């Protein structure tokens, strides 16, 4: 079971995502639990304000540090490994559990997310995700709490909510028994460092286009060879840099 705590100003954005398809199945099967926390609930301001103008000027609003810190600490308090040490400071909780509880911040400044990164998180029972919105979050939150800064691509989104969903979905589908056909997950694009091969289903002929002969031949060895070749061909054409990496890593 993996528990993902998502700290956001927009929890409702996750409702549809969590109630359909693989993320829903993962929760139903008790493999995934998602705890949505509204950062606004931790605002100390009477108007529940969560953002303010940046010091030094410039466009855009910055998310204030206190509500985010309050939200993170509320989660850490409940998941510190030895709950009986209630006098522990948050700092010591973070330090002692640092290796076990990643606190992820999604940002275009982070390192690029890939399938291996996702796999690395499968062994962490609890994950905290901080979703920024507006221009940025206060740097002091990043300095003190954030353990991992991750980007989902070289483009800019309006917040960390979509990256948090991308991450949660990629985790959910790899959890034991969530996808019935394990083979299917293992032959996906990127699982072996290559893009996936083309897939076909019935009908055999569609708008004059037939399924490649080898796939209906029944020769498993030949089919496997064809899949590998197509994977290589496609990767060489679309993402040649992946082939280079695969050669380096063996
Ligand atoms: N927040 C805004 N844009 C982002 C991106 N590309 N990746 C991760 N988090 C983001």
Task: Check residue 84 and give its pLDDT.
Answer: 42
Task: Check residue 158 and give its pLDDT.
Answer: 95
Secondary structure of the chain in the HEC alphabet? CEEEEEEECCCCHHHHHHCCHHHHHHHHCCCEEEEEEEHHHHCCCCCCCCEECCCCCCCCCEECHHHHHHHHHHHHHHHCCCCCCCCCCHHHHHHHHCCCCCEEEEEEEEEECCHHHHHHHCCCCEEEEECCECCEECHHHHHHCCCEEEECCCCCCCECHHHHHHHHHHHHCCCCCCCCCHHHHHCCCCCCCCCCCCCCCCCCEECCEECCHHHHCCCHHHHHHHHHHHHHHHHHHHCHHHHHHHHHHC
Task: Check residue 86 and give its pLDDT.
Answer: 44
Look at residues 145, 114, 143, 111 and name the one whose alpha carbon lies nearest to residue 128: 145
Answer yes or no: is the C-beta of 160 below 6 A from any ligand 1 atom. yes
Answer yes or no: is the C-beta of 149 below 6 A from any ligand 1 atom. no
- What are the tens digits of pLDDT across the range 122-167? 999 999 999 999 899 999 999 999 999 999 999 999 999 999 999 9
How remote is the C-alpha of 215 from its chain's centroid? 34
Handedness of CA 61, 66, 69, 75 (dihedral sign): negative
Q: What percent of the chain has pLDDT over 70?
A: 91
Query: 139 vs 5, 54, 55, 66, 116, CA distance in Å?
Result: 21, 11, 11, 12, 28
Look at residues 174, 173, 169 and name the one whose alpha carbon lies nearest to residue 6: 169
* Mean pLDDT of the 31-55 span: 96
Whether cis (ω within 30° of 0) applies to the bond prior to 203 is: yes
* Mean pLDDT of the 216-225 span: 97
107 alpha carbon – ligand 1 mean position (Å)? 4
Q: What percent of the chain has pLDDT over 90?
A: 82
Is the pLDDT assigned to residue 46 strictly greater than 70?
A: yes
**Which residue of 114, 153, 168 sits with most ligand 1 atoms within 8 Å of its CB, as the best mutation to test the pocket?**
153
200 alpha carbon – ligand 1 mean position (Å)? 34
Task: Check residue 250 and give its pLDDT.
Answer: 66
Task: Check residue 246 and give its pLDDT.
Answer: 75
**Which atom from ligand 1 is nearest to the alpha carbon of 156?**
3
Residue 232: pLDDT band (50, 70, 90) is very high
Instruction: Retrieve residue 100's tokens.
Output: 């076990």
Answer yes or no: is the C-beta of 27 below 6 A from any ligand 1 atom. no
Task: Check residue 182 and give its pLDDT.
Answer: 63
136 alpha carbon – ligand 1 mean position (Å)? 11
**Which residue of 6, 160, 166, 167 sits with most ligand 1 atoms within 8 Å of its CB, as the best mutation to test the pocket?**
160
Is the pLDDT assigned to residue 83 strictly greater than 50?
A: no
Instruction: Retrieve residue 188's tokens.
Output: 């996906």
23 alpha carbon – ligand 1 mean position (Å)? 21
User: Which residues sit opposite 151 in a β-bridge?
Assistant: 112
Task: Check residue 189 and give its pLDDT.
Answer: 84
- What are the tens digits of pLDDT across the range 51-71? 999 999 999 999 999 999 999
127 alpha carbon – ligand 1 mean position (Å)? 18
Is pLDDT larger for residue 177 or for residue 91?
A: 177
Is the pLDDT assigned to residue 44 strictly greater than 80?
A: yes
Instruction: Retrieve residue 98's tokens.
Output: 């640092």
For helices 21-28 and 161-172, the axis angle rounded to 10 degrees is 60
Residue corresponding to tokens 């990164």: 117
Average pLDDT, the chain: 92
Q: Give, rounded to a whole angstrom, the gap between the first and last alpha carbons of the chain.
A: 32
* Mean pLDDT of the 24-32 span: 98
Answer yes or no: is the C-beta of 107 below 6 A from any ligand 1 atom. yes
Is the pLDDT assigned to residue 238 strictly greater than 50?
A: yes
* Mean pLDDT of the 180-203 span: 86
Task: Check residue 93 and give its pLDDT.
Answer: 53
Instruction: Retrieve residue 28's tokens.
Output: 């139903």
């Amino acid at each position: 079971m993996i528990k993902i705590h998502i700290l956001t100003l927009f929890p409702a954005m996750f409702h549809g995502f969590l109630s359909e398809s693989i993320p829903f199945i993962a929760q139903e099967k008790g493999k995934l639990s998602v705890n949505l926390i509204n950062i606004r609930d931790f605002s100390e301001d009477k108007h529940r304000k969560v953002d303010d103008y940046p010091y030094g000027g410039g466009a855009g609003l910055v998310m204030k540090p206190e509500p985010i810190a309050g939200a993170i600490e509320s989660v850490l308090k409940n998941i510190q490994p030895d709950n009986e040490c209630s006098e522990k400071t948050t700092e010591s909780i973070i330090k002692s559990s640092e290796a076990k509880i990643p606190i992820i911040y999604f940002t275009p400044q982070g390192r690029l997310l890939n399938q291996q990164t996702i796999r690395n998180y499968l062994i962490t029972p609890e994950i905290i995700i901080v979703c920024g919105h507006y221009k940025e979050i206060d740097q002091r939150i990043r300095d003190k709490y954030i353990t991992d800064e991750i980007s989902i691509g070289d483009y800019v989104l309006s917040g960390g909510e979509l990256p948090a969903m991308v991450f949660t979905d990629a985790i959910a589908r790899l959890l034991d028994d969530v996808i019935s056909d394990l083979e299917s997950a293992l032959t996906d694009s990127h699982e072996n460092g290559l893009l996936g091969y083309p897939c076909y289903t019935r009908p055999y002929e569609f708008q004059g286009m037939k399924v490649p002969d080898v796939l209906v031949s029944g020769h498993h060895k030949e089919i496997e060879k064809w899949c590998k070749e197509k994977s290589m061909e496609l990767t060489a054409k679309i993402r040649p840099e992946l082939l280079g990496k695969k050669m380096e890593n063996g």
